Structure 1
Amino acid sequence: MAEGPDTPHRDDGLDLARQQARAAASSGPAVRRRRAKRDSAPRAASAATSSDDRDPQLIGDQVDRLVAERGWDLELRVRGVFARWPELVGAEVGAHCTPETFAEGKLVVRTDSTAWATQLTLLAPALVRRLNEELGEGTVTLIDVLGPHLPTGGRGRLRTRDSRGPRDTYG
C-alpha cells in the first residue's frame, strides 16, 4: 500500500515511522559521504580505525598491557623462576635450597645445610648463566648463598660470652 501526502494519518503512528525510516535510508549527502569514505579506505586501515578501547578485547592482550604499564614484567618473570626452581636447578639441588629474595640483580638463596651452601657456592656461576637465559641477559649478577637458620647458642646454663654459637647443621 503506497502512502503519500494525501494518504490519511493513522492513529497508531506506523505511517510516520515508515516515512522516517525511508527518509533516513535514502541516500542523502551524509550517507553518500560515509559510503565514499568506507569504500575508498583500505580494509586494514578501516579495521584499525574502527577498533575502540570500548570494544571487547582479548584478556591476554589486556593483561600484557597492564603488566607493561605497571612495570611488573621482571617481577613476574622472577616469581616464575621461584615457582619453577627445582626444574631450573635440578631436582637434587632444588630439594636442598630455595630462593628467598631477588633485588637489584642479587638473588639470595637459602640452603638446608652448610655442605649444600658450599656446593651451591661452587655452582653459582653456572646457575647465574642458567637464570639469565631464563630471565634475560644481565638480570642476575650475583647469587648470595646463605646457610641454614641455626640456633643462636644463647640457651643453656653454661655459655661463654661473645661466642659465635654452633657452626654446624647437625647433619
Structure 2
Amino acid sequence: MTEDDPLAGRSGYEMARKALEDARAEAKAAGKSVGMGRSAPMRPRRSGDRSRRSWSGAGPDSRDPQPLGRLTGKIAKSRGWEPKVAEGTVFGMWPTIVGEDIASHATPERMADGVLHIRAESTAWATQLRYMQGQIIAKIAAAIGHGVVKSLRIVGPQAPSWRKGPRHVSGRGPRDTYG
C-alpha cells in the first residue's frame, strides 16, 4: 500500500463501510433512491393487469411451488380428463366412501354415463343396497362431487351356467335336478 492511499491501515470492516458510503453518494448524485439494504417494493404496473407484480410478498404466490395434487387437478381439467379421474376416485376410494361393511359385500364394476354398476355378493345384499341407494349416492356426492354418479344399478351374484361343452340343446335347462 502507498502512503497516499486513504484506506491504508484500515480494517476490512472500515474499508467495506467506506465503499458503501461512496456507492450511496454516487447513486444519490445520479438521482436514484437508495434504502438501507432493502429496495422499495415496486408498484403494480399501469397496464391492464393490476394483479401482476414483480415482487412476491410474504404470502403464497402463483410462482411458488405448487402441491402435486393441485397441479394434476389443473391438468385433468384442462385436458378433459375429469370424468375418468372421478370414476377412478370412486373405484379407488370405494371402502372409504361407503364404509368397510358395505364394501366387503358389494363392489363397483363399471361406470357409464353417470350410472354406477354395483355387484352384491348375495341377493339379500343387493336388495338392501337398493333400499340404501339414495344414501350411497349422497355419500359419493359428498366425497367426489355432485353429478358424478347420477344413479346406481345394483345386481346380485352371477347365476351359474349349466352350459358345458361345445354342443348345447336349446331349452330351459335341467329342472328335475332339484327334486
Equivalent-residue separation in structure 1 for 2:53 and 2:174 (angstroms): 73
Q: Tell me if 1:128 matches 2:137.
A: yes
Residue deviations 1:119-154 (CA, integer Å, cap 9, x gap): 111111211111112222232211001221222222
What TM-score do you get using the length of structure 2 for normalisation?
A: 0.56
Match of 2:123? 114
| Corresponding letter in the other structure for 1:152 | S
SS at match of 1:45: coil
TM-align CA RMSD: 4.3
1:84/1:68 Cα in 2 relative to 1: closer, same or farther (>3 Å)? Answer: same
SS at match of 1:102: strand
Equivalent-residue separation in structure 1 for 2:124 and 2:173 (angstroms): 19
Native 8 Å contact 1:78 1:135 kept in 2: no
Count of matched residue pairs: 140
Q: Tell me if 1:70 matches 2:79.
A: yes
Q: Tell me if 1:142 matches 2:156.
A: no
Unaligned 5+ runs, structure 2: 1-26, 32-38, 45-51, 57-62
Match of 2:106 among 72, 97, 100: 97
Native 8 Å contact 1:96 1:112 kept in 2: yes
Q: Percent identity?
A: 27
Residue deviations 1:25-76 (CA, integer Å, cap 9, x gap): xx9xxxx9xxxxx97942661148xxxxxx8954625423322211223322
Equivalent-residue separation in structure 2 for 1:142 and 1:164 (angstroms): 34
Match of 2:162? 153
Residue 110 of structure 1, CA deviation? 0.9
Residue deviations 1:5-30 (CA, integer Å, cap 9, x gap): xxxxxxxxxxxxxxxxxxxxxx9xxx
What TM-score do you get using the length of structure 1 for normalisation?
A: 0.58
Q: Tell me if 1:46 matches 2:50.
A: no
Native 8 Å contact 1:154 1:165 kept in 2: no
Native 8 Å contact 2:86 2:148 kept in 1: no
Q: In proportion to residue count, which structure has more helix?
A: 1
Equivalent-residue separation in structure 1 for 2:127 and 2:141 (angstroms): 22
Unaligned 5+ runs, structure 1: 1-26, 33-37, 49-54, 167-171
